[in-house]
Amino acid sequence: MSYNWNWGVFLQPSASGDDTYLGWLFTGLKWTISLSLSAWVIALIVGSIIGVLRTVPNRWLSGFATGYVELFRNIPLLVQLFIWYFVLPELLPVELGNAFKQSNPLWQQFFCAMLCLGLFTSARVAEQVRSGIESLPKGQKNAGLAMGFTLPQVYRHVLMPMAYRIIMPPLTSEFLNIFKNSAVATTIGLIELSRQAQQLVDYTAQPYEAFIAVTVMYLLINVTVMFLMRRLEEKVRVPGFVGGK
């Protein structure tokens, strides 16, 4: 097989004329990062709330949270994305649906992908938050209550600070996953990183260079995330706590 390597392709002006092909990749990188970070914020907030609800002594609340988790983690991510993007606008009130469909397509794609990825990951975060809380000795909750804390205060001051520390390693995995999963947004047309790689192949016929470059970019993102999370882990480490030092 003969293949003409041409790394110079990235500096050539792109087909759209106003950018280089490297510029295309950076546009993709920008969308991948903004999509993943905003989805992560949703995942953390919603996941924490649902995870806490799964552990509260109220059958209705914990039942609701269980249903939520099962719903979002048992439907394939791709199917969820199609539902958000293609089905949901049809279910909205007509005016709202039309307004949505007439908005900038890029924002439509971004908004749906963000919600989809955020809520999908929130179900996974919720499970980790729950397991973190349940891994704490039962006496901790009692000790908090015995001092006169209300149940929400016990969660806020006693349970959650330790639970988050304990689940830091699996949370890091989820954080990494969200960047990798963000590639599904390519299927509804969002010009994120893997989409741009495909475009590069289409326009330049240099698939190896394009995918090597994109691979390196994903790798760089995740190495950075791992590094930052490890720093955070060290920073919040509890002296003298088992597994702490």
The answer to the question of residue 142 lying near another protein (CB under 8 A) is yes
Nearest to 10 by CA among 229, 234, 177, 211: 211
Question: In this structure, are residues 55 and 154 in contact, taking their beta carbons and an 8 Å threshold?
Answer: no
The window from 19-27, 78-86, 136-144, 214-222 that contacts another protein (CB under 8 A) reads 136-144
Question: Binding string, 163-182, against another protein, x = CB under 8 A?
Answer: --x-----------------
Phi, psi of 20 (to 5 degrees): -95, 170
Cβ 99 to another protein shortest distance, Å: 45
* 93 or 139: CB nearest another protein: 139
Would you count residue 153 as binding another protein (CB under 8 A)?
Answer: yes
Please list every residue from 27 through 56 that binds another protein, using CB under 8 A: none
Tokens of 171: 């949370």
Spatial separation of the C-alpha atoms in residues 110 and 182, rounded to whole Å: 10
Does position 91 interact with another protein (CB under 8 A)? The reply is: no
Q: What 3-state DSSP class applies to 244?
A: coil
Under the binding rule (CB under 8 A), the answer on residue 58 touching another protein is no
Closest separation in Å from C-beta 146 to another protein: 4
Q: How far is the CB of 154 from another protein (least distance, A)?
A: 10
59 binds another protein (CB under 8 A): no
Question: Contacts with another protein in 206-245 (CB under 8 A)?
Answer: 238-242, 244
134 binds another protein (CB under 8 A): no
Three-state DSSP class for 201?
helix
Which one of 52, 65, 81, 158 is in contact with another protein (CB under 8 A)?
A: 158
Q: Does 135 bind another protein (CB under 8 A)?
A: no
| DSSP secondary structure letters along 35-93 | HHHHHHHHHHHHHHHHHHHHHSS-HHHHHHHHHHHHHHHSS-HHHHHHIIIIIHHHHS-
Residues 6+ apart with CB under 8 A from 12: 20, 21, 204
Binding site for another protein (CB under 8 A): 137, 139-140, 142-150, 153, 157-158, 161-162, 165, 238-242, 244
